[in-house]
Amino acid sequence: MFVTPAFAQGAAAPSGMDFISSFIPIILLIVIFWFLIFRPQQKRMKAHQAMLASVKRGDTIVTNGGVVGKVTKAVEGEDLELEIAPGVKIKVVRTMVADVRTKSEPVNDNK
């Protein structure tokens, strides 16, 4: 009745270019997140894994709990034994090492 022909017309179907251009901001955000968040996190994780693999007897380390001690026993892939005071030794899970403070020279057991 009172509807004009301009209101009765349907919307135009979106073309392929409009569809792609609507996703460009989302793709841009994914790229930004990748370079600012995911890549640096992966680099830190690789560096931490390399640090854990290089822990050996005689190194002074800091655990995630803040305990500082000297490694007295380090078997590949297992727990570490730390000496936190003279005669006081504790076992620590290798993945809980936060930092290696000092690297020591390899210890010779054949003395």
Task: Report the distance separating Cα 78 and Cα 57, nearest Å.
Answer: 13
The structural domain count of the chain equals 1
Residue 74 placed within a domain: yes
Cα-based distances in Å from 87 to 6, 52, 72, 84: 91, 25, 11, 8
Cβ proximity of 45 and 37 under 8 Å:
no
pLDDT for residue 61: 94
Mean pLDDT by 10 residues, the chain (111 residues): 58 66 89 89 92 90 93 87 94 92 68 53
Evaluate whether residue 93 is within a structural domain.
Answer: yes
Tell me if 95 is assigned to some domain. yes
Which pLDDT score is estimated for 75? 84
Concatenated DSSP letters for 46-89?
HHHHHHHHT--TT-EEEETT--EEEEEEE-TTS-EEEEEETTEE
Indicate whether 67 belongs to any domain.
yes
| Cα angle for residues 90, 71, 109 (degrees, 5° grid) | 120
Enclosing domain of residue 96: 55-102
Q: What is the CATH number of the domain that holds 94?
A: 2.30.30
What's the pLDDT at 9? 57
Element holding 96 (H helix, E strand): none
Give the residue carrying structure tokens 């030794």: 89
pLDDT of 22: 83
The DSSP line for 6-44 is HHHSPPPPPPHHHHHHHHHHHHHHHHHHIIIIIHHHHHH
- Whole-model pTM? 0.64
Does some domain include residue 12?
A: no
